[in-house]
């Protein structure tokens, strides 16, 4: 596979190597300088509504006993990514781990003992080369499903996503190469659970409402986030997010909208800051009389709510109100609880009503 | 009339018994509650007496202890010393009369109760029916040999034989025959003698166990501790009942003389102050005070500021001697001993000594080895009831590099010896096995533990550092090959060029680390430094050599151990 | 949605109700009689190679204090399924839970307090009505992905699964209604991880080898198992299973082949007894020199191996040998470890070689 | 010569002290280790004495206890009884001389040491300097009033005043002034008196606390326990030292007479057997035996089979009385008491009584309420060192329906009272607070706990069953509506028809359950049945009524609580 960015990224990796050899040839300790990816160095930019890495940087020094191993590993990852780009291959991050794992001669140690050693170094390399993981020819785990009046060209194949029955398109890890051949949809509806997507497909919601349905199956994978971003940016489609009415669902929304803390350095490329939150909300519980089918908050839910309240990007009056209502009522509400009204209810009443009234949270 | 008959009848049954009979019935009160404990108590009372006698006479002690099992669970117990011996006429009373002895004045000594050795004699005759044999030589060329028992009804000695033979030298020997059980292990006689040897390193002890095996605990210090002096009672340790009796029995003509002559640390001024505070005339005759006068006086004493008692009455073992004792008996690789300055509780002077032995022959696994001492005597039982144990449990050992779960016994290769010396050791019970919880005492124990543990921590950190430095040596070589391969792949430089450059750089850096390592290597000699008493300045200096620094970001969501530059 | 079985299943449910009303009208305790779904009542049939429920049955009695609530719940589930069939709707099992959840008048209790109360009753109803969950119009969670030269008709849409780029077809929960319009594939390759499917798609393995790739993403979902069964039964395609070389991978194989213990009553409809195991095996480790990239067994792995050894359907010489080799070497091997040779290796050498040599385990 | 000088010098310092002086220095040995404990000890010694005196005289006790705080931490302690009083001439010795009393013979009584009340007097004068005031009336119309103190040096009473006034009645009153601290709660005087009231329900006790609040502990049993008789020593409780003294002091002319007259349970035949076994002539005069003769005799005694000691020397409280005591002071809803038959340890007879009180006013949360008694006296301190506690911890309370984590204290609304009576209670230490671990004693405690707990279990199971039956009643009505709705939907029958049919069926079934419930309901009266002592047969019968059975399949992979039919 070939990307437009290949030359640029390969060059960045080479520069990284040059920096180290220069250190060596000038008899100074070889070091990398890289941004700190800790919560303390993550900032919310109110202007564009995205999370960014701050300016704190740290130094990785071969001659610092505590850094030596990681220094070596960083270069191994960089070297392998250069190879992938040159050979026009992509690899999953687990494949990368296995490709790089080997015994270090004269020891019982391996270069990597587990994938947990290589994964963070991929993120380091992304920040140091200012490039996306996918541009390094690496694939994250994929998940997500798509339905709707959209025709895509993928690897030369023409896929009509309105003609995939109740099966749907599996969203891969790399979507930058998708070409959008035709789109008859009016908006994108991002849905937390695949089961809810099934329901909407059974009700033909996507066809009758001209909606592109993107099912996440929990937290949004990178491929799905990038695809939402591309649909929004290239096709100018509004994006509505439909999750469970609980802190976990709300955080899924915030990741789609604002970016995630783990990947703050990629918010610009993965987040869709103009998307809107559709539901479920605490008001829904009252408006649609769902009291009987709420679930009680557990301690872990309460803890998570308080965490969200401490994040700057949740410090908007409507979110604070929403989260505090959840705490004071001691309840949460799931998408599928709407089934208690009737199976059709979500497709025939709830969603059309919310969208018609523009009953969104930003 | 029938009512009166009841009281009459009951009255006839009243009688008086002797203190010997009382303790015969209540032998558990004196440490003879079971056969195992009884045997160890007999040995202990005799050894304590022997060591006290030698120290009183300023003689370097040489003690011989032998046990023979002459019948099933019947032991002959022999303890012999090189002390001053005992005058012939005193022998029967000292060994065969309870509550008779030399130890009723305020003076630091092993025995406090004046009851120990005669209790052992009482236990011997109760449990085996046998008399006790005493040999005493005071250096006049004669040996007096007594066979004694206690007349239980009268608490008076019965002399069964009394013989004098010619023999040179000096010392006392006691032979008891008692019912007992001999065990090995933590609360054994062997362990008791070993622990005694640690805190009495100026004594030579030979122990022959029931199997005939001989153990020698050698003398490694050639000077006795400073002599403990008797002191008078300090007014702050006074109870009103005692004051009344003193007032009644004193020969002092007036109150001022009474206070200045009968108490420690009371000068004329203080005495006058007490009288003034109590509203009594300084010239009053002490014997004429009424009860209310005495109560006023007692209250006044508590209100007047009196100098703390003098502390020359204390005879600590001393840091150097404890080090030597620990070294010879436990052989740790590192020792740190703190001998605190004297302090006071309830008017009684006391002093805390703490020794920590780390590593070496000590068990790496399991709980630490805690040994408690009071006036040089190891405390064997009731560990959990003792405030010394409480202080050890409450100390934060993790801070000093020793593993410890919350509020439980620390684990690791550590021996902790804690010694309290006092003219009046506050035991919690009759067993003389556990120290009561006085805040002043706990505070001193804590301070001593902290001080000693801080020194130990420096040693442990140093040891860790040396290990690290050695590991470092290897690390760079291990990881450089992969780095060179990767760089050759990434850049356009030839592999050989990178390899040569990197190797040159590593060699250069290694030289710098060698220096560090040598510095750190000094730590290897720390053991000797501490043991021979080098000042800790040189050590805390070297502690500050940090070889590498790691800073952690707060709230890391990824691992992030690099140094942060803003 | 309508199935051929609808009438039959609705009738079975009605019979169940009739049994209870008959009890009531004849003044006897109303009871259900149902097969025991415990390990002790699960049997391996050597003849057809499937797991079956045995003959042990238990009785659920309304007037047994300990059964009363569950008795009520069973009838609620049965009643709702009858409704779904009549209305030609399907519902996810979570939707079913929410549809049935309501307060019991005069108490603080709900009919169901959690989905863990309704799920087992669905299985009870399946056994009592001798029908598949899907035939009760219920959907399990779906997962799984498909690529290959196969054209399917799904809800009237014609889907060419060789024209889905690197995205692929998401396998839904209900596949019985699929029509296979055309198939140019020679065999089905069932793959444990989706990342490995990505690799094979990138290498165009499915197109070059005429293979249908079915990616499971861990343990096989019911939809995927049913689809594999249908491909095998209707299209007569041989099925090869490619999992990690560890007890978890082997159990995935055994579920595809023999049926699962949980759903032993459905083995006949879900299992593909003539499928074959392709790898990874302990011999692969030696034959392909993969020693450096094996992982050490953890206690939980060893425990699981010993469990498998105790199952009758693993008591075949080659499986015993395989599992014991794992224990004695103390290692396991993952599919993606093949990347240590090269990224192409699995597609260009490992799979073609194994398939050519027919190096399978039964 | 200088050597001799040392021994000489040391010799001069020797002296004898009185037992009073010894205990003055070691007051912790007698329970005066701190102000809180000292105050409770004073009350306890006086109350014990009062109860013993009444029981000896066969008088139903009526005790008055009053505390007044007359100064900061200084209390006047007043205890008055309606006992026989004390003859004038005995008063000074009984209250102001240690080791003088009526309690040195082998007889079950609260005091064993003959030291308690005079120790309290000693503590009073030591801590406050005050004398103790005694009032005694023996029923002759006079009251003798003494002011006493102990001469510590001589352990002899000092009479400060001695007055006689006219007054009717009978009894003794003591007024002590002591330093102390008054607390509330678990180890308080109030709790001690309450516990005393449980095990002495034939006594009436009035307690006035320092705030002037009066507490009445009423008499609920109108008969004293059977009288405890003195017994002679049983040969199996003998120690050789005691044997030697007895041989020396006996008036018996020969060995056979010696054994038959001085010991319990030794008849002529047994005595002859002992002599034969020891190879001694039965006609030997006891006073002429050599040491080795005595040893042979001693060994022979241990080998000869001797009848267990008679047990009329024991005075247990009895199951009925303990039930009443527990009922009035703790008000549990259910009580089960076991009074074991007498048993023997080391030649001493003893007997165990265990009472369990469950539910009612008892705390539902927290650890159970364990109260230990020895000879009717509650043991307040050293709970963890006591073998009674160990027996409670080791019992499997879960089996009896009481929550318990492994080897820890059970929790729940349960009071456990455990009482040991013996002519010689084996305390672990001087404090008279913890019972030593003898296998024979532990075994009896365990048996008693088991027996009592089995009865309690029946009650608890019954209670659970009643609750269940009541819940059942509701359940069918709750769930039938949804069942009817579902059936109406599934089948073609009209809803109303199903509803009518179902309701008819439920009503019918409910009738059957009503019967069960009524049967189970009998359990409600169990409390009274037990308390009034109905046989347990009727109860174990009803326990077998099982209302529903649930069988679990082994290895369930799904929940599967239905009954299995093959």
If you compute the radius of gyration of chain B from its CA atoms, what whole number of angstroms results? 32
Beta bridge partners of B15: D101
Q: What is the pLDDT of residue A261?
A: 82
Q: What is the CATH number of domain B319-454?
A: 3.30.230.10
Give, as one character, the DSSP assignment of residue A177. Answer: T
Domain D19-217 belongs in CATH node 3.40.50.10680: no
pLDDT-derived band at C49, boundaries 50, 70, 90: confident
- Please, what sign has the CA dihedral across residues D7, D8, D12, D18? positive
Please enumerate in sequence order all residues whose Cβ is within 8 A of that of C250, keeping only pairs 6 or more positions apart, or say none: C243, C277, C308, C314, C319, C322, C323
Residues 228-287 of B with CB under 8 A from D: 239-245
Tokens 């046998």 found at: B130
Report CB contact under 8 Å: C202, A1: yes
Same domain, C174 and C197: yes
Beta bridge partners of B418: B354, B372
Pick the residue from chain C with its C-alpha nearest to A204.
Answer: C155
If you compute the radius of gyration of chain A from its CA atoms, what whole number of angstroms results? 23
Report CB contact under 8 Å: C152, A173: no
State how far the Cα of B435 lies from the Cα of B373, in Å rounded to an integer. Answer: 10
Report pTM: 0.62
Pick the residue from chain B with its C-alpha nearest to D121.
Answer: B241
Residues 262-321 of A with CB under 8 A from B: 262
State how far the Cα of D323 lies from the Cα of D330, in Å rounded to an integer. Answer: 10
CA–CA min distance C19, chain A (Å)? 29
Q: At what angle do helices B116-128 and B35-56 cross, to 10 degrees?
A: 140
pLDDT-derived band at B13, boundaries 50, 70, 90: low
Decide: D and C in contact? Rule: 3+ Cβ pairs under 8 Å. yes
CATH code at position C44: 1.10.10.10
Pull the structure tokens for residue A326.
């959840």
Residues of B in contact with D242 (CB under 8 A): 24, 126
Count other C-beta atoms under 10 Å from residue B27's C-beta: 18
- Does residue B141 belong to the interface with chain D, where contact is any CB pair within 8 Å? no
Pull the structure tokens for residue B515.
């220096």
Residue at A361 is within a domain:
no
Give, as one character, the DSSP assignment of residue D278. Answer: H
- φ/ψ region of B311 (left if φ > 0, alpha if ψ in -120 to 50, else beta) reads alpha
Of D97, D129, D170, the CB nearest to B240: D129
State how far the Cα of B509 lies from the Cα of A68, in Å rounded to an integer. Answer: 13
Of C21, C65, C79, the CB nearest to D548: C65
State how far the Cα of D409 lies from the Cα of D389, in Å rounded to an integer. Answer: 9
- pLDDT by position in tens, chain D (length 566): 444 556 676 666 677 888 888 888 888 878 888 899 999 999 999 999 999 999 989 999 999 999 999 999 999 999 999 999 998 988 999 999 998 876 556 778 887 666 889 999 999 999 999 999 999 999 888 999 999 999 998 999 999 999 999 988 899 999 999 999 999 988 999 999 999 999 999 999 999 999 999 999 999 999 999 988 888 888 888 889 999 989 988 999 999 999 999 998 899 999 999 999 999 999 999 999 998 899 999 999 988 988 888 888 899 999 999 999 999 999 999 999 999 999 988 888 999 999 999 999 998 888 999 999 999 999 998 888 889 999 999 899 999 989 888 778 899 999 999 999 998 888 876 567 889 888 899 999 999 999 999 999 988 888 887 777 677 767 888 899 999 999 999 999 999 999 999 988 888 887 765 545 444 333 333 333 333 332 233 333 333 332 333 333 333 333 334 443 33
State how far the Cα of B452 lies from the Cα of D324, in Å rounded to an integer. Answer: 60
State how far the Cα of C224 lies from the Cα of B183, in Å rounded to an integer. Answer: 72
- Does residue C104 belong to the interface with chain A, where contact is any CB pair within 8 Å? no
Count other C-beta atoms under 10 Å from residue B561's C-beta: 15
Look at residues A340, A144, A187 and name the one whose alpha carbon lies nearest to residue A278: A187
Chains that touch A (3 or more CB pairs under 8 A): B, C
pLDDT-derived band at B537, boundaries 50, 70, 90: very low
Let me know if B376 is exposed, middle or buried by CB neighbors in 10 A (0-12, 13-18, 19+).
Answer: buried
Instruction: Find which of D480, D489, D551 to mutate to test the C interface (most C CBs within 10 Å of its CB).
Output: D489
Beta bridge partners of C34: C58
Which residue, of A139, A162, A185, is where some domain finishes?
Answer: A139
- Angle (CA) C169 C175 C176, round 5°: 155
Domain D235-303 belongs in CATH node 1.10.8: yes
Report CB contact under 8 Å: A58, B556: no
Let me know if A80 is exposed, middle or buried by CB neighbors in 10 A (0-12, 13-18, 19+).
Answer: buried
Pairing outcome for strands C138-139 and C91-92: parallel
Of D548, D558, D566, the CB nearest to C123: D558
Question: CA-CA distances (angstroms) from residue D23 to B235, B455, C65, D32, D376?
Answer: 21, 44, 69, 10, 26
Report CB contact under 8 Å: B3, D90: no
Count other C-beta atoms under 10 Å from residue B451's C-beta: 16
Same domain, A237 and A129: no
Same domain, A208 and A312: yes
Instruction: Find which of B1, B3, B149 to mutate to test the D interface (most D CBs within 10 Å of its CB).
Output: B3
Same domain, C91 and C150: no
CA–CA min distance D249, chain B (Å)? 11
Which residue, of A85, A111, A139, is where some domain finishes?
Answer: A139
Total count of residues recorded for chain B: 566
Residues of A in contact with C332 (CB under 8 A): none
pLDDT-derived band at B7, boundaries 50, 70, 90: low
Residues of B in contact with A39 (CB under 8 A): 554-557
Same domain, C98 and C168: no
Contact D84, D53 (CB under 8 A): yes
Residue D198: enclosing H or E segment and its boundaries? helix D189-199
Classify each residue of B203-229 as buried b or exposed e, where b means 16 or more C-beta atoms within 10 Å of its C-beta: bbbbbebeeeeeeebebbbeebbeebe
State how far the Cα of B103 lies from the Cα of B115, in Å rounded to an integer. Answer: 9
Same domain, A128 and A83: yes
Residue at C58 is within a domain:
yes
What is the per-residue pLDDT across B344-381, written as a single tens digit (0 to 9) for each?
Answer: 888 889 999 999 999 999 988 889 999 999 999 999 98
Report CB contact under 8 Å: D548, C104: no
Count other C-beta atoms under 10 Å from residue B279's C-beta: 10
Which residue, of A139, A157, A178, is where some domain finishes?
Answer: A139
- Does residue A156 belong to the interface with chain C, where contact is any CB pair within 8 Å? yes
State how far the Cα of D26 lies from the Cα of B430, in Å rounded to an integer. Answer: 8
- Does residue C291 belong to the interface with chain A, where contact is any CB pair within 8 Å? no
Domain count, chain A: 2
Same domain, A29 and A149: no
- Does residue C334 belong to the interface with chain A, where contact is any CB pair within 8 Å? yes
**ipTM of this predicted structure:** 0.54
Residues of C in contact with D482 (CB under 8 A): 72, 75-76, 104, 111
What is the per-residue pLDDT across B406-440, written as a single tens digit (0 to 9) for each?
Answer: 778 899 999 999 999 998 888 876 567 889 888 89
If you compute the radius of gyration of chain C from its CA atoms, what whole number of angstroms results? 23
Residues of C in contact with D548 (CB under 8 A): 64-66
Report CB contact under 8 Å: C198, A101: no
> DSSP labels for C127-187?
HHHT--TGGGTEEPPP--EEESSEEEEETTEEEETTSSTTT-EEP-S--TT-EEEEE--SE
State how far the Cα of A245 lies from the Cα of A253, in Å rounded to an integer. Answer: 11
What is the per-residue pLDDT across A301-355, written as a single tens digit (0 to 9) for each?
Answer: 999 999 999 998 999 999 999 999 999 999 999 998 998 888 899 999 999 999 9
- Does residue A109 belong to the interface with chain C, where contact is any CB pair within 8 Å? no
Classify each residue of D117-153 as buried b or exposed e, where b means 16 or more C-beta atoms within 10 Å of its C-beta: bbbbbbbbbbbbbbbbbbbbbbbeeebbbbbbbbebe
Report CB contact under 8 Å: B16, D152: no
Catalytic, C98? Answer yes
- φ/ψ region of A86 (left if φ > 0, alpha if ψ in -120 to 50, else beta) reads alpha
Contact D128, D177 (CB under 8 A): yes
Pull the structure tokens for residue B95.
């060994």
Look at residues D316, D275, D506, D310 and name the one whose alpha carbon lies nearest to residue D417: D316
Segments forming the whole domain that contains residue A24: 6-139
Pairing outcome for strands D74-81 and D214-217: unpaired
Same domain, A285 and A165: yes
Pick the residue from chain C with its C-alpha nearest to D494.
Answer: C21
CA–CA min distance C170, chain A (Å)? 5
Write out the E strands in B167-284: 170-179, 204-208, 214-217
Three-state SS for D175? strand
- Does residue C191 belong to the interface with chain A, where contact is any CB pair within 8 Å? no
Beta bridge partners of B352: B420
Question: CA-CA distances (angstroms) from residue D206 to C243, D67, D78, D168, D178?
Answer: 84, 11, 11, 21, 21
Report CB contact under 8 Å: A76, B482: yes
Same domain, C168 and C226: yes
Same domain, C186 and C323: yes
State how far the Cα of B157 lies from the Cα of B151, in Å rounded to an integer. Answer: 6
Question: Backbone phi, then psi, for D462, in 5-degree steps?
Answer: -60, -45
Please enumerate in sequence order all residues whose Cβ is within 8 A of that of D74, keeping only pairs 6 or more positions apart, or say none: D128, D177, D178, D179, D180
> DSSP labels for B492-560?
SS-HHHHHHHHHHHHHHHHHHHHHHHHHHHGGGGHHHHHHTT--SHHHHHHHT--S----PPSS-SS--
Residue at C361 is within a domain:
no
How many Cβ pairs within 8 Å bridge chains A and B? 132
- Does residue C39 belong to the interface with chain D, where contact is any CB pair within 8 Å? yes
Same domain, C45 and C127: yes
Instruction: Find which of D562, D565, D566 to mutate to test the C interface (most C CBs within 10 Å of its CB).
Output: D562
Residues of C in contact with D553 (CB under 8 A): 36, 38, 40-41, 58
pLDDT-derived band at B1, boundaries 50, 70, 90: very low
State how far the Cα of B84 lies from the Cα of B62, in Å rounded to an integer. Answer: 12
For chain A, list residues with pLDDT below 70.
none
CATH code at position A232: 3.40.1360.10
State how far the Cα of C207 lies from the Cα of C162, in Å rounded to an integer. Answer: 7
Contact B557, A36 (CB under 8 A): no
What is the per-residue pLDDT across B183-200, written as a single tens digit (0 to 9) for each?
Answer: 998 899 999 999 999 999
Q: What is the pLDDT of residue B9?
A: 66
Range of weakest confidence among A84-88, B213-217, C70-74, C266-270:
C266-270
Pick the residue from chain A with its C-alpha nearest to C335.
Answer: A95
Residue at C119 is within a domain:
yes
Residue D370: enclosing H or E segment and its boundaries? strand D369-374
Contact B434, B371 (CB under 8 A): no
Same domain, C305 and C224: yes
- Does residue D114 belong to the interface with chain B, where contact is any CB pair within 8 Å? yes
Residues of A in contact with B492 (CB under 8 A): 14
What is the per-residue pLDDT across C167-177, written as a single tens digit (0 to 9) for each?
Answer: 899 998 889 88
Contact A73, A101 (CB under 8 A): no
């Amino acid at each position: 596979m070939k990307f437009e960015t290949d030359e640029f990224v390969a060059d960045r990796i080479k520069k990284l190597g040059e920096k180290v050899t220069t250190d060596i040839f000038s008899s100074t300790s070889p070091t990398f300088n890289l941004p700190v990816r800790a919560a303390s160095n993550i900032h919310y930019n109110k202007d564009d509504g995205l999370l960014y890495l701050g300016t704190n940087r740290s130094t990785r020094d071969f001659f610092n006993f505590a850094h030596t191993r990681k220094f070596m590993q960083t270069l191994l990852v960089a070297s392998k990514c250069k190879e992938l780009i040159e050979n026009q291959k992509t690899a999953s991050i687990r494949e990368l781990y296995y490709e790089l794992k080997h015994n270090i001669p004269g020891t019982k140690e391996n270069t990597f003992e587990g994938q947990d050693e290589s994964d963070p170094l991929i993120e380091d390399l992304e920040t140091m080369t200012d490039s996306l993981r996918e541009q390094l020819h690496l694939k994250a785990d994929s998940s997500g499903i798509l339905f709707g009046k959209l025709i895509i060209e993928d690897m030369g194949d023409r896929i009509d996503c309105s003609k995939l029955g109740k099966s749907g398109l599996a969203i891969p890890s790399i979507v930058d190469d998708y070409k959008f051949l035709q789109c008859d949809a009016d908006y994108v509806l991002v849905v937390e659970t695949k089961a809810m997507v099934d329901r909407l497909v059974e009700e033909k919601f996507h066809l009758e409402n001209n909606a592109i349905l993107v099912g996440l199956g929990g937290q949004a994978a990178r491929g799905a986030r990038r695809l939402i971003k591309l649909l929004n940016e290239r096709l100018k489609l509004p994006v509505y997010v439909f999750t469970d009415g609980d802190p976990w669902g709300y955080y899924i929304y915030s990741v789609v909208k604002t970016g995630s803390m783990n990947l703050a350095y990629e918010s610009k490329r993965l987040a869709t800051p103009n998307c809107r939150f559709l539901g479920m909300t605490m008001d829904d519980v009252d408006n649609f009389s769902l009291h009987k089918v709420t679930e009680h908050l557990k301690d872990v839910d309460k803890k998570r709510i308080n965490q969200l309240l401490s994040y700057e990007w949740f410090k908007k009056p409507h979110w604070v109100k929403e989260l505090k209502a959840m705490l004071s009522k001691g309840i949460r509400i799931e998408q599928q609880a709407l089934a208690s009204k009737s199976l059709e209810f979500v497709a025939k009443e709830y969603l059309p009503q919310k969208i018609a009234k523009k009953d969104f949270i930003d | 009339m029938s009512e009166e008959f009841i009281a009459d009848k009951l009255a006839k049954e009243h009688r008086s018994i002797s203190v010997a009979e009382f303790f015969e019935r209540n032998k558990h009160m004196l440490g003879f509650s079971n056969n195992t404990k009884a045997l160890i108590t007999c040995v202990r009372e005799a050894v304590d007496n022997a060591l006290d006698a030698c120290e009183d006479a300023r003689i370097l002690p040489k003690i011989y202890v032998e046990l023979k099992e002459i019948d099933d669970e019947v032991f002959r117990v022999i303890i012999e010393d090189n002390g001053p011996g005992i005058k012939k006429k005193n022998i029967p009373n000292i060994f065969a009369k309870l509550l008779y002895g030399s130890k009723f004045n305020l003076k630091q000594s092993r025995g406090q109760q004046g009851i120990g050795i005669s209790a052992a004699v009482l236990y011997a005759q109760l449990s085996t029916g046998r008399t006790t044999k005493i040999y005493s030589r005071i250096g006049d060329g004669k040996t007096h040999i007594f066979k004694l028992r206690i007349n239980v009804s009268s608490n008076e000695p019965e002399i069964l034989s009394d013989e004098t033979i010619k023999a040179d030298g000096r010392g006392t020997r006691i032979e008891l025959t008692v019912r007992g059980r001999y065990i090995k292990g933590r609360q054994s006689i062997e362990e008791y003698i070993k622990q005694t040897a640690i805190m009495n390193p100026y004594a030579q002890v030979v122990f022959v166990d029931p199997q005939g095996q001989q153990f020698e605990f050698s003398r490694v210090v050639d000077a006795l501790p400073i002599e403990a002096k008797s002191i008078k009672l300090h007014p702050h340790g006074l109870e009103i009942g005692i004051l009344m009796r003193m007032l009644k029995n004193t020969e002092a003509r007036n109150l001022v003389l009474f206070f200045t002559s009968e108490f420690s640390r009371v000068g004329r001024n203080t005495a006058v102050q007490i009288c003034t505070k109590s509203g009594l005339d300084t010239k009053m005759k002490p014997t004429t005070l009424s009860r209310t006068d005495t109560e006023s006086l007692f209250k006044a004493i508590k209100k007047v500021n009196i100098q703390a008692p003098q502390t020359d009455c204390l005879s600590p073992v001393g840091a150097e001697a404890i080090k030597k004792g620990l070294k010879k008996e436990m052989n740790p690789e590192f020792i740190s001993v703190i001998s605190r300055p004297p302090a006071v509780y309830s008017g009684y002077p006391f002093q805390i000594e703490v020794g920590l032995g780390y590593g070496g022959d000590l068990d790496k696994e399991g709980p630490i080895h805690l040994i408690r001492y009071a006036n040089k005597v190891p405390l064997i039982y009731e560990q959990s009831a003792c405030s010394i144990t409480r202080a050890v449990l409450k100390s934060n050992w993790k801070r000093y590099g020793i593993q410890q779960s919350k509020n439980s016994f620390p684990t690791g290769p550590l021996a902790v010896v804690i010694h309290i010396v006092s003219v009046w050791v506050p035991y919690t019970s009759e067993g003389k096995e556990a120290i009561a919880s006085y805040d002043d005492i706990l505070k001193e124990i804590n301070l001593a533990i902290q001080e000693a543990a801080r020194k130990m921590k420096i040693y442990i950190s140093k040891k860790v550092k040396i290990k690290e430095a050695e590991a470092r040596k290897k690390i760079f070589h291990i990881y450089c090959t992969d780095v060179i391969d990767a760089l050759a792949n990434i850049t356009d430089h030839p592999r050989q060029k990178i390899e040569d450059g990197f190797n040159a750089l590593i060699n250069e850096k290694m030289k710098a680390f060698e220096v560090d390592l040598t510095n750190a290597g000094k730590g290897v000699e720390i053991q000797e430094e501490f043991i021979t008493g080098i000042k800790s300045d040189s050590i805390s200096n070297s502690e500050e050599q940090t070889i590498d620094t790691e800073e952690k970001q707060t709230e890391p969501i990824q691992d992030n151990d690099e140094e942060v530059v803003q």
